[in-house]
Amino acid sequence: MSTMDSYYEDGEGGSGWPEFAAVLLFAVGFFRVISAISYFADSHKINNLSGGLFGSQTWVWGLWDLGIAALALFGGMSLIKGGSFGRIVAYAWAVLVIVQGFSSIQRAPWYSALAIALAVMVIYGLARTPRRARG
């Protein structure tokens, strides 16, 4: 039996990486809820969406943000409980953040570098932390 196995059998602690990823998912979820509310209120932060994906229908953007928020919040709760769904959502979130970071690195280099580093830390932490055994 390895030390890591006995460490988790005590039911105490862990590395903290899954909790870190869960906190990030909660932050993303709450931010997206606030963003959805502003879309539903027909906020004037958006100047021109006529050529965008959903056109000028800001309520569709609100539904999109609510969907992302629900996915992130349920993923965070699952990750804290040690579920596989949360790990999959956290990995997917991190990969999307890395892709988005590289696509916007010319416009906002410091923000993009920070976002990429944060996503890499999430992937590293989840990959290094074994799944918790359910008792």
- Domain assignments of the chain as residue spans, ordered by start: 16-128
Q: Is pTM, for the whole model, over 0.75?
A: no
Dist CA 67 CA 121 (whole Å): 25
Q: What is the pLDDT of residues 14-58, one digit of tens each?
A: 678 888 888 988 998 898 888 888 877 765 555 555 555 555 667
- Contact status, residue 111 vs residue 60, Cβ threshold 8 Å: no
How confident is the model at residue 56, as a pLDDT? 62
pLDDT score at 4: 45
Higher pLDDT, 74 or 13: 74
- pLDDT mean over 5-14: 48
Tokens at residue 82, please?
A: 């040690």
Taking only the tens place, the pLDDT of each residue in 106-124 is 888 898 898 899 889 888 8
Q: Which residues contact 58 (CB under 8 A, 6 or more apart)?
A: 39, 40, 42, 43, 46, 49
Structural tokens at position 1: 């039996």
Residue pLDDT, tens place only, 50-108: 555 555 667 777 788 888 889 889 988 988 888 888 899 889 988 988 888 898 888 88
Residue 13 pLDDT exceeds 80: no
